Amino acid sequence: MQCKYCGQTIPDNANYCSGCGRAVREEATEVKRESKFWEQGWFAFLMLFIFWPVGLYLVFRYNGKLAKVMVSVFLFIILWIFITQFGADLLSKKTDNPLVKISDSVVAESIPSQKKFNEILARYNQNDRKSMTELEKAEFNKSYEKEFNEFFKDGYVKKWCAKVDRIESVNSGMAAYVELRCDYPKAEYTFATKQYAADESLIPADSELYKKIMPLKSGDVVVFSGKLVSGDYSKKIVDLTTSYGYKNKKLYIDFTDIEKMSTKE
């Protein structure tokens, strides 16, 4: 038998021509399988705009080598952006906060240990976020208030580190109000003089300490010492009561020394 397409002599029972490779019998013609709609390119690219993870899978699975290369490049770019951004966030957290940047060398000399206090407060904040009833929260706060106040049992702190939050003139320039902020990771609190208690912990204008704080501005990192005093409405050194949804973590202090720290390398 001869092939009707190329004239090549082939066996009588052959289904395909050995010369041109074409089917010589009707029943041997391959029936092309119709692809499902999710296997077609238009659907894959549509899914890229609707839900891109599924779209990427469909493009990669059903649309040839070029599509696989394109998807691989796209995924690499996404991964690179994520790693770069994540790394930048970590770096900024480490370097943008001058308090954290220099405090490691300072708090090692703090009395009592500021690092220990930060750890206690971080543990408090973590446990405080757990779901509790109002009675459980009250008992929880009492236990931590006891721990905090026992930590400051002699009432003095020495060589603690903080950032200047604000310094204001009080009593027509006769004294100064100072508020320092400690914004350590997972442990944020403030130290402040009593703003409305005349001559109790405000810094008198005729004192040496007043001269030290005059050049200070918001954001400066300082090392300070002083004696903690009880709050206006509580005899506790650390009062964890809640007012207007804000948990009070302000410690009142009678400063004895404040010294600006250099944030340069």
Domain boundaries, the chain: 33-90, 98-260
Q: What are the strands, taking DSSP E only, across 100-186?
A: 156-170, 175-184
Q: Provide the pLDDT confidence category of residue 249 given band limits of 50, 70 and 90.
A: confident
The strand pairing partners of 221, in sequence order, are 163
31-45, 72-86, 201-215, 235-249, range with greatest mean pLDDT: 201-215
Asked whether the whole model's pTM tops 0.95, one would answer no
- The pLDDT of residue 35 is above 60: no
The per-residue pLDDT for 30 is: 46
Q: Provide the pLDDT confidence category of residue 201 given band limits of 50, 70 and 90.
A: confident
The per-residue pLDDT for 246 is: 58
Q: What is the DSSP string of 144-161?
A: HHHHHHHHTTT-EEEEEE
Token couple for 221:
């990192």
Query: CA 71 to CA 73: how far, in whole Å?
Result: 5
Q: Provide the pLDDT confidence category of residue 209 given band limits of 50, 70 and 90.
A: very high
Query: CA 93 to CA 101: how far, in whole Å?
Result: 9
Tens of pLDDT, residues 46-55: 666 676 677 7
Higher pLDDT, 253 or 27: 253
- Angle (CA) 163-120-255 rounded to 5° is 40
Cβ distance 205 to 173 under 8 Å?
yes
Q: Provide the pLDDT confidence category of residue 116 given band limits of 50, 70 and 90.
A: very high
Plot region of 52 (φ>0 → left; ψ -120 to 50 → alpha; else → beta): alpha
The per-residue pLDDT for 94 is: 46
CATH architecture for residues 98-260: Beta Barrel (2.40)
